[in-house]
Amino acid sequence: MLTHRFFLLVTVFLNVLASAAVAAQKPPNILLILSDDHSAPHLGCYGNADIRTPALDKLASQGMRFNRAYTTAPQCVPSRASILTGRHPIDIGMTRFSAALPRDVEMFPEKLRREANYFAGLCGRSYHLDGNGYNNPAIAPHLAEVDKPNVATRLDSVAVAPEGLTRRAVTIEQFEEFLSKIPQGRPFFLQLCWGDPHRPLTDEELPYHHDPAKIALPPFYPDAPPMRKMLAAYYDEIGRMDGDTGRVLSMLEQHGLADDTIVIFMGDNGGSQLRGKGTLNEFGIHVPLIIRWPGVVQAGASCDKLISGDDLAPTLLQAAGLKPAENFTGVTFLPELRGDAGFEGRKELICERGPHASGLPRGSASFDLGRVIVTDRYKLIYNVTWQLPYQPVDFNLKEMQALSDAGQLDKKFVDLYLAPQRPMFELYDLKDDPHEMTNLAGKGRPTRVIEDDLKGRLAAWQIHHRDFVPLATGGGGGGKLNTKSAAEVE
C-alpha cells in the first residue's frame, strides 16, 4: 500500500515538473513575410516552370506549401487587416481602402506582446493600416477632430520603408536592426513587408530576366506582345523579391534564430495583372502561402485544404500557447501544421471587394462591390455593382482596346474584358475549369442546384456578419440578370 502511494506521489511530482518545463519553454519566434500583389501560381514551387524563385522554392522544400490559400479581399488594406487581426474586413469596418485600423480592434501581435512577452514589430511597406486617407491634402485640414489610430504606438518596433526603389535595401536594414533590438530571452514577432511585385514594374537590380516570348500564358491572356511583356516584367519583380527574401532568411540563420522561428511567406493579395488584383477571380484572391517550422512541420509537405487570411492569427496564437479571441472569424489550422490526420479544415470561405484607394468612384478600378464564396470545388462570384465594366487596378486596358480596334482580339477576350457590364453572378467549377473560363451561372440544372445552394450560404453569411450590400438571394426575378444585360431583361 505504501509502495503504491509512493509511486503515485512520484508520478504526480514528475508530471508537475514536466508541466513546469513545458510552461517555461520559450515559445517560437514568428517571422511573417508578405509580398505585395502576388498570385499563387507565380512561384516555381507551385508548378510554374517559367519563373525563377529559388529561395522560396527552397523554403517550400523545408516546410509546407498551401495550395488553396486565399485572402479575405483582393486589396492590400482589408487583406492585411484580416491577417493581423484574425477577423474579416466586414467585421471590423475595413472594407474601404483608405480606412484605418480602429483602436478597439486588437492585432494578434499585441496579444503576443501582452500575454507571452513577445518583442513585436513591423517593418517595410506597412503604411496600409494607418489609413492613407489621413495623408490626403484635400482631407487633412478637416481631420483635426478625428482620432487617428496609430499602429506604431501599439507595438515595440515599427519602421516604415520610404516609397520608391530604395525601400528594398531599407527594409533589409530595418530587419537587421530589429534583430539587434530583441531583448535577450524574449521571443519575437515581426511582419516584414516587401514592395515587390507591386507596380510600377521596374528593371533595377533584377537577378533574372524572363523572356516574354518564352513564357506560357494563362488561357485568359491574349497572346499578344504587350500582354507577354507585362507578365514577364511581373515575373522579373517576383524574382527580385525572391532574392531579397533569401537574404533575409540567411540573416536569420546567421543570427542563430532559424531553428527557433516559424517563417511564414504569403502574398497580401493577387497580382496586378489581368483578372487579378481588385477582382474576385483566382488571380485576385488565391495567393502563395508557405510555412516553415523546424521540428514541427514536415519538410516538403503540402496542404490542399481551404485557408483564409484571417486563419493566420488564431493559428499563430495557438502555436505560441495562447487562446485565440472568441470574436475571431479565422479558423486555426495548427493541427494541419502538426500533421494531425484528423484535421478537416474549412468547408467554405468568403472574400469581399470594396472601394479601392481614396479616389472618387469613376469606374470599377476605384469603386467596386463584390462578394465570393469558395468551396472545395465550386466558386460563386457576386458582382454587386455588375453594371460597371471591368477595370483593372493599377493599370489600364489601352493595349487591349487597341488590339480590339485593329480587329486582332478574339471575341472571347472582348467579352471578357471590354464588355459594357459584367454578369451579376459567376459560377465556376474550379476542378474542371481552374482558369474560370466557363461561367455556369444561369445555365439550368444540374449547376442551378449548386448555384442556388451557394447563393443561400453566402446570404446566410451576409446576415450573420451584418454585411452592408444586398443579399445574394432575393425575389423580383433578380436571378435573370445572371447572364443578360439590363436592356435584354427589359
How far apart are the two ends of the chain, measured CA to CA in Å? 91
Using an 8 Å Cβ cutoff, are 228 and 222 in contact?
Answer: no
Task: Mark whether 235 and 330 lie in a shared domain.
Answer: yes
pLDDT range class, residue 474, cuts 50, 70, 90 = confident
Query: What local confidence, expressed as pLDDT, does residue 308 receive?
Result: 98
> Does pLDDT of 18 surpass 60?
no
> Does pLDDT of 134 surpass 90?
no
Query: Closest Cα partner for 157 from 177, 185, 186, 137?
Result: 177
**CA 174 – CA 179 distance, rounded (Å):** 9
Residue 308 domain boundaries: 27-345
Query: What local confidence, expressed as pLDDT, does residue 25 receive?
Result: 76
**CA 486 – CA 135 distance, rounded (Å):** 39
Residue 4 in domain: no
Total domains present in the chain: 2
Query: What local confidence, expressed as pLDDT, does residue 351 receive?
Result: 98
> Does pLDDT of 1 surpass 80?
no
What's 45's DSSP letter?
A: G
Task: Mark whether 90 and 179 lie in a shared domain.
Answer: yes
Using an 8 Å Cβ cutoff, are 72 and 86 in contact?
Answer: no
| pLDDT tens digits, one per residue of 69-97 | 999 999 999 999 999 999 999 999 999 87
> Does pLDDT of 359 surpass 70?
yes
**CA 297 – CA 138 distance, rounded (Å):** 50
How many residues are recorded in the chain?
490
pTM: 0.91
Instruction: Using the 3D structure, point to which of 307, 328, 345 is the last residue of a domain.
Output: 345
| pLDDT tens digits, one per residue of 165-214 | 457 999 999 999 999 999 999 999 999 999 999 999 999 999 999 999 99
Query: What local confidence, expressed as pLDDT, does residue 5 receive?
Result: 53
**CA 483 – CA 151 distance, rounded (Å):** 44
**CA 203 – CA 220 distance, rounded (Å):** 26
Instruction: Using the 3D structure, point to which of 293, 321, 345 is the last residue of a domain.
Output: 345
Residue 16 in domain: no
Using an 8 Å Cβ cutoff, are 423 and 441 in contact?
Answer: yes
List C-alpha distances in Å: 369 to 122, 261, 359, 388. 30, 39, 15, 10
Strand bridging mode 425-429 / 378-383: antiparallel
Task: Mark whether 323 and 417 lie in a shared domain.
Answer: no
> Does pLDDT of 133 surpass 90?
no
| pLDDT tens digits, one per residue of 33-54 | 999 999 999 999 999 999 999 9
The three-state (H, E, C) secondary structure of 20-67, written as one string? HHHHHCCCCEEEEEEECCCCCCCCHHHCCCCCCCHHHHHHHHHCEEEE
Return all residues near 298 (Cβ < 8 A) that are at least 6 apart: 64, 339
Mean pLDDT of 284-303: 98
Q: What is the mean pLDDT of the chain?
A: 90
Residue 8 in domain: no
Strand bridging mode 188-193 / 29-35: parallel
**CA 481 – CA 488 distance, rounded (Å):** 9
Q: How far is CA 204 from the centre of its chain?
A: 26
CATH code of the domain in which 208 resides? 3.40.720.10
Residue 18 in domain: no
> Does pLDDT of 128 surpass 80?
no
Higher-confidence position of 88 and 10: 88
**CA 151 – CA 129 distance, rounded (Å):** 7
Task: Mark whether 398 and 328 lie in a shared domain.
Answer: no
Query: What local confidence, expressed as pLDDT, does residue 15 receive?
Result: 42
Query: What local confidence, expressed as pLDDT, does residue 161 receive?
Result: 77
Mean pLDDT of 152-164: 81
Task: Mark whether 317 and 423 lie in a shared domain.
Answer: no
- Location of C-alpha cell 489609413: 131
Residue 34 in domain: yes
Question: Which ranges in 289-343 belong to alpha helices (H)?
Answer: 312-319, 334-337
Query: What local confidence, expressed as pLDDT, does residue 26 receive?
Result: 87
Task: Mark whether 210 and 98 lie in a shared domain.
Answer: yes
Task: Mark whether 357 and 339 lie in a shared domain.
Answer: no
pLDDT range class, residue 20, cuts 50, 70, 90 = very low
Task: Mark whether 322 and 375 lie in a shared domain.
Answer: no
The residue type of 118 is: Y
Task: Mark whether 449 and 382 lie in a shared domain.
Answer: yes
Strand runs labelled E in 57-166: 64-70, 119-124, 157-160
Instruction: Using the 3D structure, point to which of 307, 325, 345 is the last residue of a domain.
Output: 345
Query: What local confidence, expressed as pLDDT, does residue 135 receive?
Result: 63
Residue 2 in domain: no
| pLDDT tens digits, one per residue of 386-442 | 999 999 999 999 999 999 999 999 999 999 999 999 999 999 999 999 999 999 999
Task: Mark whether 204 and 85 lie in a shared domain.
Answer: yes
Q: Which residues pair with 192 in a beta bridge?
A: 33, 123
Return all residues near 445 (Cβ < 8 A) that are at least 6 apart: none
**Is the preceding omega at residue 446 within 30 degrees of 0, hence cis?**
yes
Task: Mark whether 364 and 328 lie in a shared domain.
Answer: no
Q: Which residues pair with 286 in a beta bridge?
A: 70
Task: Mark whether 154 and 214 lie in a shared domain.
Answer: yes
- The percent of residues in the chain predicted with pLDDT above 90, rounded, is 79
Cβ of 343: how many Cβ atoms within 10 Å? 15
